[in-house]
Amino acid sequence: SAHVVFVVLSVCQVEEGAESVLCPRLNGHGAVTRYYSSDSKDDLHVRYLDGEDSGIVVVGINRPKAKNAINKNLVKMMFEAVEDIKKNKKVRSVILCSLVPGIFCAGADLKERAKMHQSEVGPFVSKARALITELGNLPVPTIAAIDGAALGGGLEMALACDIRISSNTAKMGLVETKLAIIPGAGGTQRLPRVIGVSLAKELIFAARVVDGTQAQQMGLVSHSVEQNNSGDAAYLRALELAREINPQGPIAIRMAKLAINQGIEMDLSTGLAIEEACYSQVIPTKDRLEGLSAFKEKRQPQYKGE
């Protein structure tokens, strides 16, 4: 599938119809370009990084006027992005982030929701739930870079990722009970699995919002980093992590993810059988032989995913 490469210019270019523009610090490969635009096809930016970062895909949500809220169009675009990533064997890791400063995703688009007929709400929530399930089922490591508020469905999206990294100032919470509803896209299931049952109940019952530092203390995020002037500290830390994952054996990583995800839901003996089945998949690979050769020859292995 075609690799999309965005050239980041050091001049801030204002797109036609853009209301304002923010030029983030440019950091070579993987810099995030941010611009505001009201065009719905700009709601999501998918970038396949190149050069040394080849294999890293950055999925950036870009609905500044709506605080990146999840509407029908964003769900559709994210489904397409997830499908493309799933089919592409060259992808090594995915970073889910926001291109809008100060916000990750404010949850469901309540303005759109208010206009929906009651009969439309169920199907829309089902579609959003299916999207988040698909995101969780991606075969490669997924990292949510939370540089701003991640509320309701926004946090549910991050919970479906393998690893969450936030800035210390980011705000997170499943706040649905404030609206007399419950988390409907996996929050009641994924949050207790991540932070434990009692704490998850407390956060959901109280609709409590925590910051990045508190989130790290409770294990909701793996790393909480100090926010920088350009507001993309969590993204930069996620990029570092993706770069750490990149050189490892890609089939091995896919199998490790599968073994962990399936095994964690089982008793130990079933989990060990799943691990054995996943291990048997890596034995016949060319990558495994390349790893042994590289070790013997004291050089860096060059894995091809074969």
Active-site position among 69, 81, 108, 158: 108
- To the query of whether residue 153 is one of the catalytic residues in this protein, the response is yes
**CB–CB of 221/215 below 8 Å?**
yes
- To the query of whether residue 17 is one of the catalytic residues in this protein, the response is no
- To the query of whether residue 259 is one of the catalytic residues in this protein, the response is no
| Percent helix / strand / coil, the chain, rounded to 5 | 45, 15, 40
Q: Which two tokens stand for residue 106?
A: 């404010």
**CB–CB of 239/95 below 8 Å?**
yes
As a whole number of angstroms, the distance between CA 39 and CA 46 comes to 15
Quickly list H helices, 24-96: 72-87
C-alpha distances out from residue 186 to 24, 154, 236, 305, Å = 33, 11, 27, 32
Enter the DSSP assignment of 70. Answer: B
Burial of residue 1 (CB within 10 Å: 0-12, 13-18, 19+) is exposed
Active-site position among 30, 55, 107, 153: 153
Active-site position among 158, 170, 176, 252: 176
- To the query of whether residue 112 is one of the catalytic residues in this protein, the response is no
Which residues are designated catalytic?
108, 153, 156, 176
